[in-house]
Structure 1
């Protein structure tokens, strides 16, 4: 696909893209394209220094909203900052700043992680979710569960800083369990559930990479457990890849220090 833009008296450009991100695998391929396009435009017009890094995820999200895509800020923050980043979306920050507080962390804090995904995940989780409306309606179970999810993120940051990977594994499993309770199996989808179950069958921890379609797994028992994970996923018809986390492309002057 090629997008051509021209305005009289201004620079003109042609923008094309290609991607190797699996489609419909919950890996935010569409927002990654928009994020890359924004980065190109910032440099093309030499305005990168005028657009604060903290608000770039909002710009990407606004573009997706214009396309009718329902989404949140998390994936866009990860794409803008790159590497490993802790996100605090506390109400006070969102109300006063218009965005969260994003803290880059050293990628060397991460344990080995693996991505599990299906060749054809499109049959999974087609039922429309009512969770957002239940949140807006003030349902106590949804609000308390979301608050626990936020605490899991805070606890996960501590587990990473302490390199306590067994605790991190426990938190990952709890994250998925909460999501399953809130959304229900019809929304989560059979394929998604089977991916998590394949990881758990060998004692690995697993949670969604995003809202579904792919799963990130942690093997706290090391490489022997990784071999078991690969076999379990292969037997279940899923693909497994070792995750390689690239460091943040942002210069330190654009964001926070790396710790």
Structure 2
């Protein structure tokens, strides 16, 4: 992004929906995710005479620390890879409308938007591969003790609809998964249900992770089945077999429920899934709880009925807006050729 060195740079990163296969991304599995246009975080970078770490917040907990963490990770990555950065100061500020604790990846959106600003400020977008950027975002969050997988960050870097394969061999050889952008036009109309005051979704993975590491056969087999749902879902979407797609959404949640148990998932989160099922819609978590993605196979009348039921139950309900791919020509030029 050449031009006026004194001009402010601003980028948005959007919330994401884990559509199929989650949470297998942290277990060498596969997922399909998309970028959710309903909510976003924006970060502004302004050249400044002040110190680099003068940061301004708009009240999102931990946001300033997230910005500081990505600055550190970005600078270390450039140093380790022989990418020279000019010595100039800047100020970062951010804003976000992503509801907290809804499993819509609010923290990684802030980091993703900030990384985009840094890539353009230092004019190094062509030097840092698209596939590597989600790792930088995740590493910044790990600095703050956030436990997560790559799926969310991939969806936020790429935009649009993305199929991801995190097979162990590929991850160990290249340091990242295989990411395949799909045509977002393959998606049917989807809706979102979320609670105004959700419970914290951060503790959901704990015991399952330990059991998986300990070689628990039930967890390992079930997680493989969850990963297979993304593979089957990819085919179902390409073939526009939406009856199969609906079954896979429901199956994905049922398998998660078997592994994690109702106490870990939380009554409020389960009720959001079941309110959709009671009217014949397919539903599952968008992430680890707090929000639910819904497909109404019978169309607008079914969606209207569900909206009424959600309102009665005190849940928010809205149509999903899918954002197209964010990658420009420079980004596409950095991608590994198949």
Q: TM-score, normalised by structure 1?
A: 0.93
* Deviation sequence 1:81-107 (CA, Å, 0-9, x none): 011000011112112111100000111
In the alignment, what sits opposite 1:106?
183
1:146-165 equivalences under 5 Å are: 146-165=223-242
Contact 1:113/1:242 (<8 A) preserved? yes
In the alignment, what sits opposite 2:149?
72
1:187-206 equivalences under 5 Å are: 187-206=264-283
Contact 2:201/2:290 (<8 A) preserved? yes
Structure 2 residue 256 is the aligned partner of structure 1 residue 175:
no
Q: Which of residues 116, 120, 133 is equivalent to 2:210?
A: 133
Is the partner of 1:53 in helix, strand or coil?
A: coil
Counterparts of 1:37 and 1:214, CA distance in 2: 25
Is the partner of 1:35 in helix, strand or coil?
A: helix
Counterparts of 1:178 and 1:148, CA distance in 2: 8
Return the offset for 1:224. Answer: 1.1
Aligned length: 256
Counterparts of 1:102 and 1:92, CA distance in 2: 14
Return the offset for 1:20. Answer: 0.8
Counterparts of 1:109 and 1:253, CA distance in 2: 26
Q: Which of residues 168, 173, 192 is equivalent to 1:115?
A: 192
Q: Structure 1 169/163 Cα, relative in aligned 2: closer, same or farther at 3 Å?
A: same
Return the offset for 1:236. Answer: 1.3
Counterparts of 2:262 and 2:303, CA distance in 1: 27
Q: TM-score, normalised by structure 2?
A: 0.72
In the alignment, what sits opposite 1:166?
243
Is the partner of 2:287 in helix, strand or coil?
A: coil
Structure 2 residue 167 is the aligned partner of structure 1 residue 85:
no
Is the partner of 2:132 in helix, strand or coil?
A: helix
Counterparts of 1:123 and 1:153, CA distance in 2: 26
* Deviation sequence 1:192-241 (CA, Å, 0-9, x none): 00000100010000011111110000011111111111112111110001
Q: Structure 1 243/199 Cα, relative in aligned 2: closer, same or farther at 3 Å?
A: same
- Name the one with the larger strand percent: 2
Structure 2 residue 273 is the aligned partner of structure 1 residue 225:
no
**Is there any run of 5+ residues in structure 1 with no aligned partner, and where?**
none
- Name the one with the larger helix percent: 1
Q: Structure 1 127/173 Cα, relative in aligned 2: closer, same or farther at 3 Å?
A: closer
Counterparts of 1:198 and 1:144, CA distance in 2: 29
